[in-house]
């Protein structure tokens, strides 16, 4: 066997190993996490008699909710069943990313990018989340891959496929359109007539949603939802690491603070060097990866600045594949070559450590345990007070999911605003189970409640969200 054939076989073997590890992580213990508030909202909308009415109060397009609606009808609303759908979709994303990384980075460097993509904590996290982000990840990859196909062999069929992929990505999340924007930027670098037509096809996929945007976007932007954006210089410097990892607090909680710094430093340095290498070489495949990373990030930043969007890793999902490719390419740029490979191995080791920690324990808001505790301690005449700090009608979404077999408890819920203002208070001696979402937006109502009942103290535990108090004269 010739040396090139042996090298090709080695590349295929290492890529296959990386993909196998990534598939195993995405299918491992998806039910370990409790559904958190946003996931409960997904179930509420997907199960509602009229999901489109609820979407006027949401901030997303409909496709993910309709897909979950069909899934729930087929497999039920259990946590494992719900999480299995995004896990399978994320597995498909990993498989699609492998050839795309090969096209961007070449035969020798692609396995390193696939390895990092396979163990990236953020992607494994979203693989187990009952939201739209795993779908956005897959469709963004399909958009980028369809664009390459349209350039390689231009045809009406390929342009139609690209337009369809962009339309689906936008239908899962408004920021899914940023994948189409990346294709437009890539097309500007393609010096052929097919570049313009490919850009038009990508734009057409977004324009399909014009009627929906006209009908729903005004009501979805009524100010009920806060703008979540972190745009300080430090936040932007941390962004490459945050597009690889999520819940870095898990490492701190286990005494691995040094791993956080190593992961962040390697991700940032790899991204910077990867971008610089692509700009310096001006090789079309590497520029494609660079634009696939930078254009969605810049687009999201501009939307945040001028249109009130959000700038969080979950919203930047279309830019994650390009970001990971740039990080891997940048680290491998180091010389001697063994130093770059060692840096990639170290980054993957840090990422794998965090992923394993996430799979070992519940790292989400623990509504499952809290509602179980409420059910076990419930007595006739008790009341339930929810302080979860989201707009109606989503207040009880996750709680109702876990109390779906306890209509007596759900029927006992107090109106939080009336209760806190003193308009509607049960008689003295009534036991009130207080369940709150321990987040920044919730401190004000918690403070109001604490002032009303001195026996209730703010919980220092990050994930404990249930308190029981008894009203006294």
DSSP 336-372: SHHHHHHHHHHHHHHHHHHHHHHHHS--S--HHHHHH
Q: Which of 316, 337, 360 is the last residue of a domain?
A: 360
Residue 463, pLDDT > 50, answer no
The answer to whether 293 touches 326, Cβ cutoff 8 Å, is: yes
Grade residue 457 by pLDDT with cuts at 50, 70 and 90: very low
Residue 429 has pLDDT above 90, yes or no: no
Indicate if 391 and 419 belong to the same structural domain: yes
Residue 462: what pLDDT? 34
Where a domain ends, among 316, 331, 360? 360
- The pLDDT, as a whole number, for residue 416 is 83
Shared domain check, 390 and 339: no
Burial 333-359, CB ≥16 within 10 A → b, else e: bbeeeeebeebbeebbebbbbbbebbb
pLDDT value, residue 197: 87
Indicate if the pLDDT at residue 456 is higher than 70. Answer: no
| Pair 193, 217 in one domain | yes
pTM assigned to the model: 0.90
State the Cα–Cα distance between residues 19 and 15, nearest whole angstrom: 6
Name the residue with higher pLDDT: 464 or 295: 295
- Residue 281 — very low, low, confident or very high, per pLDDT cuts 50/70/90? confident
Final residue belonging to a domain, choices 333, 360, 387? 360
The verdict on 195 and 261 lying in the same domain is: yes
**269 and 158 inside one domain:** yes
Average pLDDT over residues 87-99: 97
Question: In the structure, what pLDDT confidence band is assigned to residue 190 with cuts at 50, 70 and 90?
Answer: low
Q: Does residue 326 share a domain with residue 389?
A: no
Q: Which residues of 20-34 are buried (b: 16+ CB within 10 A; e: fewer)?
A: ebbbebbeeebbbbb
In this predicted structure, the answer to whether residue 113 has a pLDDT above a threshold of 90 is: yes
Examine the domain organization and report whether 284 and 422 are in the same domain: no
- Per-residue pLDDT, averaged over 21-39, amounts to 93
Q: How confident is the model at residue 224 (pLDDT cuts 50, 70, 90)?
A: low
Report the range out of 182-191, 257-266, 388-397 with the highest average pLDDT. 257-266
Domain that includes residue 460, residue range? 367-470
Confidence of residue 245 (pLDDT cuts 50, 70, 90): very high
342 and 456, same domain (yes or no): no
Residue percentage of the chain with pLDDT more than 90: 59
Gap between the Cα atoms of 411 and 13, Å rounded: 57
Residue-wise pLDDT tens digits, 319-331: 999 999 999 999 9
Q: Is the pLDDT of residue 455 over 50?
A: no
Alpha helices in 106-225 (DSSP H): 110-119, 121-127, 133-152, 156-172, 177-188, 193-207, 210-220
- 64 lies in the same domain as 123: yes
Q: State residue 444's pLDDT score.
A: 59
Pick from 416, 377, 378: which is nearest to 394 by CA?
A: 416
Mean pLDDT, the chain, as a whole number? 87
- Do 8 and 114 belong to one domain? yes
Residues 305 and 438 in one domain: no
Mean pLDDT in residue range 152-171? 94
Looking at the fold, whether 210 and 310 belong to one and the same domain comes out as: yes
Structural domains in the chain (count): 2
pLDDT mean over 158-177: 95
């Amino acid at each position: 066997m010739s040396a090139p054939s042996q090298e090709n076989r080695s590349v295929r073997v290492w890529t296959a190993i990386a993909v196998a590890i990534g598939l195993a992580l995405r299918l491992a213990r998806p039910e370990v996490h409790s559904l958190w508030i946003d996931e409960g909202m997904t179930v509420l909308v997907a199960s509602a008699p009229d999901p489109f009415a609820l979407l006027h109060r949401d901030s997303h397009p409909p496709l993910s909710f309709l897909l979950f609606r069909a899934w729930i009808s087929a497999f039920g609303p259990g946590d494992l069943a719900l999480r299995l759908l995004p896990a399978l979709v994320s597995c498909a994303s990993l498989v699609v990313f492998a050839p795309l990384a090969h096209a961007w980075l070449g035969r020798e460097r692609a396995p390193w990018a696939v390895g990092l993509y396979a163990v990236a904590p953020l992607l494994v996290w979203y693989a187990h989340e009952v939201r739209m982000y795993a779908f956005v990840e897959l469709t963004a990859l399909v958009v980028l891959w369809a664009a390459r196909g349209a350039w390689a062999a231009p045809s009406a069929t390929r342009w139609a496929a690209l337009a369809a992929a962009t339309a689906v990505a936008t239908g899962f999340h408004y920021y899914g359109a940023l994948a189409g924007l990346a294709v437009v930027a890539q097309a500007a670098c393609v010096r052929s007539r097919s570049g313009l037509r490919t850009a038009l096809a990508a734009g057409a996929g977004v324009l399909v949603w014009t009627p929906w945007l006209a009908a729903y976007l005004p009501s979805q932007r009524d100010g009920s939802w806060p703008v979540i954006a972190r745009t300080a210089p430090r936040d932007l410097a941390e962004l490459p690491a945050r597009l690889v990892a999520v819940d870095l607090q898990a490492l701190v909680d286990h005494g691995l603070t040094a791993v956080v710094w190593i992961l962040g430093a390697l991700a940032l340095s790899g991204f910077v060097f990867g971008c610089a290498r692509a700009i310096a070489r001006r090789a079309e495949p590497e520029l494609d990866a660079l634009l696939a990373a930078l254009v969605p990030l810049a687009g999201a930043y501009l939307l945040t600045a001028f249109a009130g969007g959000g700038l969080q890793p979950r919203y930047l999902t279309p830019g994650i594949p390009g970001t990971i490719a740039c990080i891997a390419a940048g680290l491998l740029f180091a010389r001697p070559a063994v130093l770059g490979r060692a840096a990639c191995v170290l980054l993957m080791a840090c990422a794998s450590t965090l992923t394993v920690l996430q799979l070992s324990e519940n790292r989400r808001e623990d509504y499952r345990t809290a509602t179980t505790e409420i059910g076990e301690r419930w007595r006739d005449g008790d009341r339930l007070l929810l302080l979860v700090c989201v707009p109606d009608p989503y207040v009880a979404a996750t709680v109702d999911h876990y109390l779906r077999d306890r209509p007596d408890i759900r029927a006992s819920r107090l109106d939080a605003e009336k209760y806190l203002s003193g308009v509607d208070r049960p008689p003295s001696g009534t036991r009130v189970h207080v369940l709150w979402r321990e987040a920044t937006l919730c401190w004000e109502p918690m403070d109001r409640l604490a002032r009303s009942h001195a026996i209730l103290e703010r919980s220092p535990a990050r994930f404990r969200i249930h308190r029981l108090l008894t009203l006294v004269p």
